[in-house]
Structure 1
Amino acid sequence: MIKIGGLQKFSLIDFPSRISAVIFTQGCNLRCPFCHNRNLVLPEYYGQTLDIKYVFNFLESRKKMIEGVVITGGEPTIYREITDFIERIKDMGFLVKLDTNGTNPEILVELINKKLLNYIAMDIKASFGKYEELAGIKIDLNKIRESIKVILNSNVEYEFRTTLVRDLITYTDIIKIGQMIKGAKRYVLQNFVYSENVIDKSLKNSYGFPETDRKKLKNVLKKYVKEVILR
């Protein structure tokens, strides 16, 4: 059964060009040190879950106020029931955006084939040579490659995105990621900002990339992707 770790009732920024609500699933199969949702990732920090009936009752009451629903985490695709969950949301008339780490491409294929997604945001943690270091756990990199391919070849709106942590990822790593997603419509670079909810507390004095470096990256990445967004 899907565990809901949180609900943001109103957002203007999480679903591009849409007013949305955000549903946070509890649990994740990665342990990225820079993740700022440890309460959704590390079991020892889990909070009380929300009743699914409450979530759907809320959505029912907001049909005329919001356009879309963002499913994020944690990692939503660790739940096999995610397809039925999203299908129910779609049946209510909402657009759906999925945030994912791309470790379960078979779920992505299922959701895309059933036309259940209107937008996909996939986090690219690092270049393949450093992927496990930044994912915090051993993973099957072929799953990441497959998810990238699935998204690139889909008819669903999407973005790839990477968190810039100056102590963990380099300028060269970002260029390599651009090559990994060559031909992509949109690549978002989001600067790391420390919070008390970060998984690795040793990153307390870490920062994102300077503005000059981010602008340089943006210009170079345009050789590989159509649009680069700095956040």
Structure 2
Amino acid sequence: MTRKIWSRKQSICRFEIKKDHILPMKIGGFQKSSLIDYPDKICCIIFVSGCNFHCPYCHNPELINGNYHSTPYSDENLIFEFLEKRKSMLDGVVITGGEPTLYEEIFELCHTIKKIGYPVKIDTNGSRPNVVKKLIEEDLVDYIAMDIKTTLSNYSPLIQENCNPEDLMSSIRLIMDSKKDYEFRTTCVKPLVSLEIIEEISIFIMGARLYTLQGFNDTKVLNPDFFQENEVDYTGEDLEDMLDIAKPWVRQCLIR
């Protein structure tokens, strides 16, 4: 059987962004199916290696520093072949990380996936509004999920040194003003999140299509010491209280 090879030239790349990404984009993991990561769709998930944030509760710590470990699907051509074969079984593709918007190659990746025939959902921290803007304008994504970690003024130093809140605000506005499906998400971890912080975030994203509150999973984290030194967990009842705080400000709010 002749193997179909996808080349970057086939993607007709016509996108340029400032080259301040960490390394050339590497695929650090691939999940063949998921029922929960793309609303109302059976999807596969591409994990991009490397992130510019260092959230202490990150549950994919092996992807944060861009340390590249080859996997059977590190070759994107194998993923494209997989997608061609699974058209009758999959409804969409999720690209997550790490942080996918760090790399200019994200445009080509999305373009090729859509050319094969799949809608694309991307998970982002919102730190690269210029990339978010191009993804929207070039119709390279169908669903955007942006994480809002805490109030925008509180990102430094726990999330990122010298984080620019204006970049986060720009991404939020771009997403809300687009015609794409989207959601904002907050992982509820002390001391980054409180009832007051959830209310402040909810007011800032007033009218948002969907705001999701996520519980904290301590199975695997980036900074275990942070959790030994701090009380971090919220109870299910606490999350319900946060839900009640957020509901008046957004069109839909869920606990996930």
- When normalised by structure 1's length, the TM-score is 0.94
Query: Residues 91 and 105 (structure 1 numbering): CA distance in 2 closer, same or farther, change over 3 Å?
Result: same
Q: Distance in 2 between matches of 1:133 and 1:176?
A: 19
Query: Is 1:119 matched up with 2:143?
Result: yes
* SS of match in other structure, 2:161: coil
Tell me, which stretches of 5 or more residues in structure 2 are unaligned?
Answer: 1-23
- Give the greater-gyration-radius structure (CA): 2
1:97 to 121, 141, 157: 121
Look up the match of 1:211: 236
Q: Is the 8 A contact 1:132 1:138 kept in 2?
A: yes
1:20-68 superposed Cα distances (whole Å, 9 cap, x missing partner)? 0000001111111111111100245x42251111121111221111010
Identity of aligned residues (%): 41
Give the CA RMSD over aligned residues. Answer: 1.5
Look up the match of 2:17: none
Q: Distance in 2 between matches of 1:147 and 1:136?
A: 16
Q: Distance in 1 between matches of 2:155 and 2:204?
A: 12
Counterpart mapping for 1:150-169 below 5 A = 150-169=174-193
Query: Is 1:188 matched up with 2:212?
Result: yes
Instruction: State the AA in 1 paired with 2:218.
Output: Y
Q: Distance in 2 between matches of 1:82 and 1:171?
A: 36
Instruction: State the AA in 2 paired with 1:69.
Output: V
1:118-177 superposed Cα distances (whole Å, 9 cap, x missing partner)? 111000011023122341432111100000000110000000000011343222111111
* SS of match in other structure, 2:53: coil
1:10 to 23, 33, 55: 33
Q: Distance in 1 between matches of 2:254 and 2:233?
A: 15
Tell me, which stretches of 5 or more residues in structure 1 are unaligned?
Answer: none
Q: Distance in 2 between matches of 1:110 and 1:25?
A: 19
Instruction: State the AA in 1 paired with 2:83.
Output: L
2:246 to 212, 221, 227: 221
- When normalised by structure 2's length, the TM-score is 0.85
Q: Is the 8 A contact 1:126 1:134 kept in 2?
A: no
Look up the match of 1:32: 55
Instruction: State the AA in 1 paired with 2:27.
Output: I
